[in-house]
Structure 1
Amino acid sequence: MPINTPVDLSNCDKEPIHIPGQIQSHGFLIVVNQDCIITYHSDNIASFIPGIKPNLLGEHINDIEQLTANNDSKDLICQLITLGKHNKSFDQTNPFSIDLQGKPFYLIISPTEQFFLLEFEPADSDLNIDLQKIIGRSVSEMLADKNLQRLLDNTAAQIKQIIDYDRVMIYRFAEDGHGEVVAESRNADLDSWMGLHYPASDIPKQARELYKLNLTRLIADVHTTPSKIITSADNGQPLDLTPSQLRAVSPIHIQYLKNMEVGSSFSISLIYKKELWGLIACHNYSPRFIDFKSRESSKLIGQILSSALEFRQDEENQQTTQRYKSAVDQISKYLLKSMSIEDALTQQEVTVLDAVDADGAIVVYENSIIKLGITPDDDELRDLLTWVKGNLGDSFHYTNNLASVYPQAAAYRDVASGLMLSVLSHEMNEYVIWFKPEQIQTIKWAGNPEKPVELNANGLTHISPRNSFAEWTQTVSGTSKNWSNEEIKSAARLREEITYAINQKAGEIRALNEKLKLAYEELDTFSYTISHDLKNPLSTIKSYSQILTRNGNLEPRAQQIMERIIVGADKMNLMINEVLGYSKLGRSEIEAVEIDMAPVIDELIKDLLVAYNSPDIDIQIGKTPAIHGDPVMINQVFANLISNAIKYSIPSGSPKVTIEGTATETGVVYSISDNGIGIDIQYLPKVFELFNRMDNARDIEGSGVGLSIVKRIIDKHRGKIWVDSELNKGSTFYVEFFNR
């Protein structure tokens, strides 16, 4: 959105709040380039330094006498910039105490694009306490209780005591961006806002992104006029103030605070796994200034609370994950022992219903429907399965609002508002489906979230989300509790266990030999076509393109096109070879021997480190028990998995890969872990499908065939493979080989 576009509630989610062109007026800003030449500055410097020239543009920072007169060195500011550039951080020097005409200021330096922000704030504060002295005691009291809600309540109370704002709230964001007050400490004369919800437009997406970068945000006085940033006429580039402490506030947000009668606000970001979990939002009903050092101490409180939240949440998730894992492990044992898939899934002490937190489930297998718990009735299920067959092509699907995609489900939303579908076989129409009942919610909004604007006496709309914050109650129906990441992982792993068991029994149970024979014949024909009818003309295209690139008369654009043709030909050739390799696996016979895995893994790692030119990658190798298998195929499995681990962990900056083998009662399990880009939870059930690549891996070289080949090799060895992964947290692939 252009910077001069009027901002209102129809486009506030696109407001360029990182380039406001002005700053809050409780400090002043000077911006220098790499040579310490002033390229921007705020127009309020004279109000802090009387007698200074009104326009400093184009001057060297060392030549501004008022900034250097009372300090040790005329070159002080440039030296600080040089030190920060050398350290690749200004954390060691921020804030730097500086004397300006006998008045103490804090200088905060931040890099932005090719410039450096020099922000000068008064070193005094409205806080009359030494925050650093009392922070230890306050943190101890915050963390005294392991209960998550009491932890939040303690935090709100301690921060209120420290900074003495009129109201301190802990505000948690939901997946859709709206927020809820989950803890509060306030003055006795104020109404409670505990439990109130606020729409996502109150803190739009671009503001939430900035809160992830700037962990504290002070608005000292909502009633002051911001100071404009001036620059030369030939420098029309808006200044990016993303890292700025003084960055001016959106006029929408200022009006929002005024409507709430708030005079000053201060927020501390709460981060969970690199995402914005919520805010410690502090409101004062009169102006309030907190100096930079005190804000940094407050940021430490937020970081400690973020760590505590992550620990508490991870601990809770781990307990849930372990419960689901135990259920799937037990079902897996039933599947291996029982001749009946249905009995193993539905008739034992532990059933598919225990693999997730659902109230009902059905297993659709071999033309029968077996119900567990609370489910729709038989007629409703038949209609639902007809819809599933015709509309859900994915192998895995989940929703917490079934009626929104299948309106007939509204009739039994009290039983099945939530659905999770795991496809065992598309061809045979076999599924496991879990159901969650409707969870009617009463949400208390701070004002009607569906009434974003109001008309004034002149018929114009206010630029504020609401003028009224009176409690407004909404009842939400037709939805269930969300399916958690742990439930999705558990269901995906259970499907692998069921598929494995079905495949083990497939030769005895299903009469597919003739169809399989025909498929192999068709595959042979297809492979021949690829080998001869596609690879030969592809080689011709590449050869002629290479000849043309040697023509010195080609224009640069034509040269680039020829080079792109060569790259495309190589990529297509790689795809053809991968498909041929995949198709040949079906006809390859296994020559199983005992394989000493230590030298195999060592040799692979040596080759891969050279191939990826990554000598600094940290590769940890644990125990490497021997396994039984075809040496060529097993080498291909580990080459692919270790190569992926290295390739996808390199973007992390500190790549680490761990390889570990564990002997079990029934065989050997190998795990290959990395700290790379990870896999989005929605793609986990599809990770071994042919040509399936994740959105976050599009820029990383690959064909989407490798893991399909690995899966096929493991299936031929009658083993198992599964994966556990989180986005931006890395992946762990497990391969199990059974004793022979």
Structure 2
Amino acid sequence: MTHEPARVTALDAPVDLTNCDREPIHVPGAVQPHGALVALRGDRIVQFSANVPDRLGTPAGDLLGATLDTLLEPDLAAQVNGALASGELDRNPLFLLTAPVRDRGPFDLTAHRLDDLTVLEFEPLPGALVHADAYTLVRGTLARMNAAPDLARFVEVAAQDIQALTGFDRVMVYQFADDGTGTVIAERCAPGMTPYLGLRYPASDIPKQARALYVLNMLRIITDVNYDPAPMLAQPGEAALDMSYCVLRSVSPIHLEYLRNMGVGASMSISLLRGPELWGLIACHHNTPRALSPNVRAACELIGQVASVQLSAWQEKQDQSYQLHLKAAQSQLMERLAHTPDLLEALVGQDSRLLDFVDAGGAAVCLDGQVIRLGRTPDPEQLRALQDWLRTQPDSEVLHTHSLGELFPAASAYAESASGLLAVQLSRLRGDYVMWFRPEELQTVAWGGDPNKPAEVAQDGSARLSPRRSFEAWQQTVRGRSAPWLTEEISAARTLRRALLSLVLRRAEELRDLNEGLTRSNQELERSNADLDAFAYIASHDLKEPLRGLHNYSVFLLEAYAQQLDEDGVAKLNTLVRLTQRMDDLIDSLLLYSRVGRVDLNVRDTDLNDVLADVLDILSARFEQAGAEVTRGALPTLPVDRVRVGEVLNNLVSNAVKYNDKPPRIEVGALPPGERGDLIVPEGVPDQAWVLFVRDNGIGIRDRHFENIFRIFKRLHGRDQYGGGTGAGLTIVKKIIERHGGQIWPVSAVGEGTTFYFTLQGGEVA
């Protein structure tokens, strides 16, 4: 049964630089015409190249659906079928035999199997044959590569020995960068060839689908770049043949034009892999057409495989050394995080090694509104703008770039110190980040031709995107880029983020437990203080009645029996009267103190000038008796309990008169917010609070007594000195001020006088 052959193609539109990255190059629908190809399903031919009749001498109309017996002589067909049955053909093309076909050839026959198809390729023998197996051909090369002391010598040996083995005019080792560009790092040229060593080529020179094929099939060869492809013919409905593993696969017309523009007549490329990734290529060029026998190609492929293993080992050795350095820094930082209570101190304190964590030139920790910088970083204002930008990024938990200015144009202003950014987000809401920076690495890149001008104008005046024609060195200065962040560094940043978030959550739980404990303690303390106040009130109130009776009876005894008692008896009764009076005064002070803590404050906006006027009026008789002079400054209007603040002023002004050994000079005034001069205020006094004061020229107080003067019933002098007293006055003053949310503190010089400063604002009114 015969079928009318049909052409099979995968891309109908003409190919140029606008669509070459979408060109299905693994199904080109054609082969290089120096050889021929047939595809069998089972033992039946389902596809063949249109040049089979010309190459192999078999009419095309007899092939579709036929067996190999139709294509080959019976003996040769039997040999091929036997080889196909015994060979390991999956994907990897296998050399079967060399034989003439119908008086044509001889041909090298190779075969491979893909899915349910067996692909058989016929290649004419090259003019110069090499009669040796692949290992014999490369044994010396493998030894020299293994002895290479470094990467530079290693790739030089590869280029040199591939040229010697194949006879190509130029052999280059081409290494890919992370951005897809490639650089020629080793080269061997025949005399008269233009060297390309050190030149860089854009990623577009090798589209992504071509790179994918380079991983699948380690060797590709084009024997003549000026060939006219032989199309594939197939049974109707047959899908285009996947030629990923075919030696004769036709290549993209764009690639052929690219090679012709370089002046190349034939080419071969050998993949260099690092694990599953394409690391680079060994690219071979010849000025004229050139074919290689299967055993030479196999030798070249073996060199590529061994080189790939060795390159992986070289890279792993370098990576391992750097990873050990990173691990040491990371372990030390994690240890600090585990044992340092303060998160900022752990990250940026002495010996934190935050910069070593990812080999950065600078770092910034933005946490709880603070920004701490290490090394070379943007300035604080620039960092705040960068924080704001990071908060707008949808996936900024870990953001990394080696060209920050391209993503965030404002960063171009500080590219010198921060072209590279690696940032981990701790809280987008608060803008908490840990950032590392890398400086700009100014580069002068030598391109193989201008990569930015692929358009050309045809004779009819139309513009067409095509491969560049000039491959002379074209210089470009690259700015705004840093060394790229390695996978290990990005992974370390992710690990640090998880550790920091875990630590923050754990410390938040500890803080919550601590706050709950403090709340319970404060509640218990408030209950205890309330109980103590109640006890003091009840005890003092209940003591008043028997004490009053004791005092009164002592007075009655003196009045009724003083004439009958001797001098000693009268003295004892006088002592009893004096002590009971003293006890009554102490109980009154205790009652007043407990009342201050128990009574609710009646807070109203109050003009303190009026309060002071009332106090001075009450004390006017004492001023006249002591010869005191009082100076009044302007006082503010504040929300206070008028009666209680009156008690404060009364007590402080009275003490200014009492504790004086000269005519008292007293000043009462206030310092507005922002006008405190050199006055040192205690911690917790807000900037917006008024500071009131009572100043005198009295005896003064030594610094060591500043705390004692506010303790209840604590007097610094004898009971009857300086007018006597219970020692409760300043204690009550302090409690009233604290209930208003303020503080009180003295400034004094012995023999010169004392100033009591106090505030009535700054906290919750208790």
Bin for the TM-score computed over the shorter chain:
0.5 to 0.7
Name the CA distance, whole Å, in 2 between partners of 1:83 and 1:463: 49
Matching residue of 2:122: 120
> Structure 1 residues 275 and 56, CA, compared in 2 at 3 Å: closer, same or farther?
farther
Name the CA distance, whole Å, in 1 between partners of 2:56 and 2:424: 69
Matching residue of 1:495: 497
Letter of the structure 2 residue corresponding to residue 67 of structure 1 = L
Q: Could you tell me how far 1:2 is from its partner in structure 2?
A: 5.4
The answer on 1:49 being equivalent to 2:56 is yes
Q: Could you tell me how far 1:31 is from its partner in structure 2?
A: 1.6
Matches within 5 A, 1:96-495: 96-101=97-102, 103-124=105-126, 126=128, 128=130, 130=132, 132-232=135-235, 234-235=236-237, 237-391=239-393, 394-461=396-463, 464-495=466-497
Q: Could you tell me how far 1:188 is from its partner in structure 2?
A: 3.1
> Structure 1 residues 339 and 219, CA, compared in 2 at 3 Å: closer, same or farther?
same
Matching residue of 1:696: none
Q: Deviations over 1:160-206 (max 9, x none)?
A: 12212110001122333332212111123222201212222222111
Matching residue of 2:73: 68
Give the greater-gyration-radius structure (CA): 2
Range with bigger deviation, 425-434 or 443-452: 425-434
Name the CA distance, whole Å, in 1 between partners of 2:431 and 2:64: 74
Q: Could you tell me how far 1:293 is from its partner in structure 2?
A: 2.0
Q: Could you tell me how far 1:90 is from its partner in structure 2?
A: 7.0
Asked if structure 1 preserves the Cα contact closer than 8 Å seen for 2:390 and 2:396, the reply is no
Asked if structure 2 preserves the Cα contact closer than 8 Å seen for 1:262 and 1:286, the reply is yes
Asked if structure 2 preserves the Cα contact closer than 8 Å seen for 1:9 and 1:453, the reply is no
Q: Could you tell me how far 1:345 is from its partner in structure 2?
A: 1.7
Letter of the structure 2 residue corresponding to residue 44 of structure 1 = N
Letter of the structure 2 residue corresponding to residue 26 of structure 1 = H
Asked if structure 1 preserves the Cα contact closer than 8 Å seen for 2:94 and 2:112, the reply is no
Matching residue of 2:604: none
Q: Deviations over 1:20-64 (max 9, x none)?
A: 222112211112222x112222232344334x3243333432432
Q: Deviations over 1:367-396 (max 9, x none)?
A: 221111111112222222233334466321
Letter of the structure 1 residue corresponding to residue 246 of structure 2 = S
Name the SS of the counterpart of 1:55 in structure 2. Answer: helix
Matching residue of 1:94: 95
Name the CA distance, whole Å, in 2 between partners of 1:59 and 1:424: 67
Name the CA distance, whole Å, in 2 between partners of 1:62 and 1:489: 56
Matching residue of 2:81: 78
Q: Deviations over 1:217-265 (max 9, x none)?
A: 1101112322222234x34532222221101122211121111111110
- RMSD between aligned residues: 2.6
Name the SS of the counterpart of 2:191 in structure 1. Answer: coil
Name the CA distance, whole Å, in 2 between partners of 1:91 and 1:475: 44
> Structure 1 residues 143 and 188, CA, compared in 2 at 3 Å: closer, same or farther?
farther
Unaligned runs of 5+ in 1: 518-740
Q: Deviations over 1:598-641 (max 9, x none)?
A: xxxxxxxxxxxxxxxxxxxxxxxxxxxxxxxxxxxxxxxxxxxx
Name the SS of the counterpart of 1:479 in structure 2. Answer: coil
Q: Deviations over 1:98-130 (max 9, x none)?
A: 443465432212224432211111344535463
Matching residue of 1:582: none
TM-score of the superposed pair, with normalisation by structure 2:
0.62
Asked if structure 2 preserves the Cα contact closer than 8 Å seen for 1:197 and 1:446, the reply is yes
Name the CA distance, whole Å, in 2 between partners of 1:296 and 1:231: 30
Letter of the structure 2 residue corresponding to residue 133 of structure 1 = T
Matching residue of 1:8: 16
Name the CA distance, whole Å, in 2 between partners of 1:56 and 1:132: 41
- What is the aligned-residue identity percentage? 37
Asked if structure 1 preserves the Cα contact closer than 8 Å seen for 2:10 and 2:29, the reply is no
> Structure 1 residues 125 and 497, CA, compared in 2 at 3 Å: closer, same or farther?
farther
Name the CA distance, whole Å, in 2 between partners of 1:424 and 1:441: 34
> Structure 1 residues 93 and 17, CA, compared in 2 at 3 Å: closer, same or farther?
closer
Asked if structure 1 preserves the Cα contact closer than 8 Å seen for 2:141 and 2:157, the reply is no
Name the SS of the counterpart of 1:268 in structure 2. Answer: strand
Name the CA distance, whole Å, in 2 between partners of 1:331 and 1:505: 17
Asked if structure 2 preserves the Cα contact closer than 8 Å seen for 1:29 and 1:42, the reply is yes
Asked if structure 2 preserves the Cα contact closer than 8 Å seen for 1:443 and 1:474, the reply is yes
Name the CA distance, whole Å, in 1 between partners of 2:303 and 2:500: 47
Name the CA distance, whole Å, in 2 between partners of 1:117 and 1:88: 9
Letter of the structure 2 residue corresponding to residue 424 of structure 1 = L
Range with bigger deviation, 492-501 or 356-365: 492-501
> Structure 1 residues 390 and 48, CA, compared in 2 at 3 Å: closer, same or farther?
closer
Name the CA distance, whole Å, in 2 between partners of 1:391 and 1:456: 45
Alignment partner of 1:32 out of 28, 40, 45? 40
Name the CA distance, whole Å, in 2 between partners of 1:194 and 1:91: 32
Asked if structure 1 preserves the Cα contact closer than 8 Å seen for 2:93 and 2:245, the reply is no
Name the CA distance, whole Å, in 1 between partners of 2:175 and 2:357: 29
Q: Could you tell me how far 1:288 is from its partner in structure 2?
A: 0.7
Asked if structure 2 preserves the Cα contact closer than 8 Å seen for 1:25 and 1:224, the reply is yes
Q: How many pairs align? A: 507
Letter of the structure 1 residue corresponding to residue 24 of structure 2 = P
> Structure 1 residues 462 and 503, CA, compared in 2 at 3 Å: closer, same or farther?
closer
Name the CA distance, whole Å, in 2 between partners of 1:253 and 1:92: 23
Name the SS of the counterpart of 2:444 in structure 1. Answer: strand
Name the CA distance, whole Å, in 1 between partners of 2:47 and 2:263: 34
Asked if structure 2 preserves the Cα contact closer than 8 Å seen for 1:126 and 1:288, the reply is no
Name the SS of the counterpart of 2:355 in structure 1. Answer: helix
Q: Could you tell me how far 1:300 is from its partner in structure 2?
A: 0.7
Range with bigger deviation, 445-454 or 121-130: 121-130
Asked if structure 2 preserves the Cα contact closer than 8 Å seen for 1:168 and 1:280, the reply is yes
The answer on 1:58 being equivalent to 2:64 is yes
Asked if structure 2 preserves the Cα contact closer than 8 Å seen for 1:446 and 1:471, the reply is yes
Asked if structure 2 preserves the Cα contact closer than 8 Å seen for 1:252 and 1:463, the reply is no
Letter of the structure 2 residue corresponding to residue 5 of structure 1 = A
Asked if structure 1 preserves the Cα contact closer than 8 Å seen for 2:32 and 2:228, the reply is yes
Name the SS of the counterpart of 1:370 in structure 2. Answer: strand
Letter of the structure 1 residue corresponding to residue 383 of structure 2 = L
Asked if structure 2 preserves the Cα contact closer than 8 Å seen for 1:90 and 1:109, the reply is no
Q: Could you tell me how far 1:88 is from its partner in structure 2?
A: 6.7
> Structure 1 residues 248 and 512, CA, compared in 2 at 3 Å: closer, same or farther?
farther
Name the CA distance, whole Å, in 2 between partners of 1:354 and 1:262: 48
Asked if structure 1 preserves the Cα contact closer than 8 Å seen for 2:90 and 2:114, the reply is no
> Structure 1 residues 386 and 46, CA, compared in 2 at 3 Å: closer, same or farther?
closer
> Structure 1 residues 387 and 251, CA, compared in 2 at 3 Å: closer, same or farther?
closer
Name the CA distance, whole Å, in 2 between partners of 1:344 and 1:261: 62
Name the CA distance, whole Å, in 1 between partners of 2:11 and 2:471: 30
Name the CA distance, whole Å, in 2 between partners of 1:101 and 1:177: 48
